[in-house]
Structure 1
């Protein structure tokens, strides 16, 4: 009888320990999955901030170029005013992704590249009044073109810097082996 009780007690203890260990493994697997999901979400948000900022800066650069070009070509006041309104809209569109980038990405290289891109994009506007002030059109067009080119280079630098950062921040995973082709 004692042997039966000892066997039953050991069976109960083993079952309980098995359940505890199994529960702990499941808990750890769930925690791991939450961490992976959180990491993927942060990475996706960072990529979205970088992409949105790069697109907004490109749109603003284009709007400023069109505005400056219209001034240089002596477009009507209504046309210049319309382009001015568009450039204000595109500048406003830069703010949100720039803030998101600064909140989501702490890397100083990415932040510096973003700030440089935005500064040089905004600097295009400084080339526009020189054309309106009666300077030589060719000189004014050259300044406008140089400002745009500097902003484009800064844009490419930002994209490359952000790509390097995001590729380093990307979680490493083991690639899934490709299924083998069936032999006929």
Structure 2
């Protein structure tokens, strides 16, 4: 009788221990999966912002160049419309980045690249000013990508 009771208790304890191991393994798997999904979403936010800012920088430079070259009004208006669309496209990935990434360096670099890209609009007085603004925005873009790469590598 004692032997049977010990066998039953041993079986129950074995089932409990085995269940706990399986539960821990499942929890670990969920944590790893969640971390990987979050990392992918962060990478997507960074990539989308970098692309949107590049598109806007190009649109703003083309618009400024057209103004400086005194392009026809319909061309300038078309470029103005394009720059409005590309500026609007910056908002979504910037918001996603702010929600998904709390790192101060990445956020500061994102703010800087957006600010300097938007500032191209204020450099339409000369070709030199336009080129300088464009180069400053390109450098800020590279700094942003590098800061994000360091953050995502950890």
TM-score of the superposed pair, with normalisation by structure 2: 0.99
Shift of 1:127: 1.0
Distance in 1 (alpha carbons) for counterparts of 2:51 and 2:59: 12
1:1-184 mapped onto 2 (5 Å cutoff)? 5-128=1-124, 130=125, 140-168=126-154
**Whose helix proportion is higher, 1 or 2?**
2
Q: Which runs of 5+ in 1 are unaligned?
A: 131-139, 169-184
Number of matched pairs: 154
Describe the superposition over 1:15-43 as per-residue Cα deviations: whole angstroms up to 9, x where unpaired: 00000000000000000000000000110
Q: Deviations over 1:141-178 (max 9, x none)?
A: 0000000000000000000000000001xxxxxxxxxx
Q: Give the alignment's Cα RMSD to 1 decimal.
A: 0.5
Partners of 1:29 and 1:64 lie apart in 2 by 52
- Structure 1 or 2, whichever has the larger Rg, is 1
Normalised to the residue count of structure 1, the TM-score between the two structures is 0.83
